[in-house]
């Protein structure tokens, strides 16, 4: 599968030339995962899958506008647009898309998506605290994991709702490398938080170094990054692209 990372900016004020757009992962030019920017509609995807109804993943939450592409998500939504709840795998042409429940918010449901095409597979998690162990077999193994770069510190920022006990927030990048390293050889981070924008080159190096510790290839993505799920490692020279507008 051919991937284009459309956006790598988390829900922050900060921005930089190669990290200015909100979440969006495009597969083979036809399946779009998250629509953090309205302009992603210009690509004319055939289907849109939303990890959760936060505006940096679903622009229409704060900017109501019609969307004439079928949209699916972990819960239904009905306004100027319709999101259909999806809680079981679907087959679309050569693709099988499996939603996997995730922990992230106390107000909205969230899901990761496992996408398979023939022998190739990828997991896109959206914002993430954790995925329950009972679901890990679904992505054991997976060619590529694309996940949440909100926070660099171990433990991330996780809170517990006093009334319901629901956990919400984001895990740290080291926690997510530890979670996914047993299942994949490549982990790509998107959705960067404020920490990333303080010194982008240093941040990219910090992320890449975490992979060495676990024996996996780990990278920070940039807006417009293209890659193949079949590649065994990330393309060379990726880390220098950001300086030239990627």
- When the beta carbons of 127 and 223 are compared against Zn ion, the nearer one is 127
Residue numbers 107-136 binding Zn ion by CB under 5 A? 127
Q: In what order do the strands lie in the sheet with 111-117?
A: 90-92, 95-101, 111-117, 120-124, 144-148, 186-190, 217-220
Task: Tell me the closest approach of the beta carbon of residue 147 to Zn ion, in angstroms.
Answer: 12
Distance between CA atoms of residues 36 and 191, nearest Å: 10
Q: Which residues, at least 6 apart from 134, have a Cβ–Cβ distance to it below 8 Å?
A: none
Closest CA to 23 of 38, 8, 3: 8
- When the beta carbons of 37 and 127 are compared against Zn ion, the nearer one is 127
Task: Tell me the closest approach of the beta carbon of residue 52 to Zn ion, in angstroms.
Answer: 6
Single out the segment in contact with Zn ion by CB under 5 A; choices: 1-9, 51-59, 152-160, 179-187.
Answer: 51-59
Q: Select from 34, 37, 56, 223 the one that contacts Zn ion (CB under 5 A).
A: 56
- When the beta carbons of 54 and 219 are compared against Zn ion, the nearer one is 54
Site string for Zn ion, 171-190 (x = CB under 5 A): --------------------
Chain centroid to CA 127: how far? 7
Is residue 158 within 8 A of residue 130, CB to CB? The reply is no
- When the beta carbons of 56 and 143 are compared against Zn ion, the nearer one is 56
Bridge partners, 31 (sequence order): 27, 47
Task: Tell me the closest approach of the beta carbon of residue 132 to Zn ion, in angstroms.
Answer: 18
Task: Tell me the closest approach of the beta carbon of residue 54 to Zn ion, in angstroms.
Answer: 4
Q: Select from 54, 116, 186, 222 the one that contacts Zn ion (CB under 5 A).
A: 54
Residue 227 DSSP SS3: strand
């Amino acid at each position: 599968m051919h991937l284009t990372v459309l956006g790598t900016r988390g829900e922050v004020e900060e921005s930089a030339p190669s990290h200015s757009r909100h979440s969006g992962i495009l597969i083979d030019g036809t399946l779009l995962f998250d629509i953090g920017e309205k302009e992603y509609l210009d690509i004319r995807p055939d289907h849109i899958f939303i990890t959760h109804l936060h505006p940096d993943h679903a622009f229409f939450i704060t900017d109501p506008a019609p969307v004439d592409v079928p949209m699916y998500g972990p819960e239904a939504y009905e306004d100027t647009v319709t999101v259909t709840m999806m809680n079981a795998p679907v087959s679309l042409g050569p693709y099988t898309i499996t939603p996997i429940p995730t922990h992230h918010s106390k107000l909205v449901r969230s899901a990761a998506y496992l996408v398979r095409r023939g022998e190739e597979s990828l997991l896109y998690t959206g914002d993430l605290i954790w995925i329950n162990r009972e679901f890990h077999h679904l992505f054991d193994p997976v060619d590529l994991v694309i996940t949440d770069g909100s926070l660099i510190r171990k433990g991330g920022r996780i809170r517990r709702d006093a009334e319901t006990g629901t956990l919400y927030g984001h895990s740290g990048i080291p926690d997510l490398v530890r979670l996914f390293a047993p299942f994949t050889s490549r982990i790509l981070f998107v959705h960067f938080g404020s920490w990333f924008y303080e010194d982008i080159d240093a941040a990219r190096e910090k992320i890449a170094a975490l992979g060495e510790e676990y024996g996996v290839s780990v990278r920070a993505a940039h807006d417009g990054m293209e890659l193949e799920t079949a590649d065994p490692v990330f393309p060379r020279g990726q880390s220098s692209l950001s300086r030239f507008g990627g």
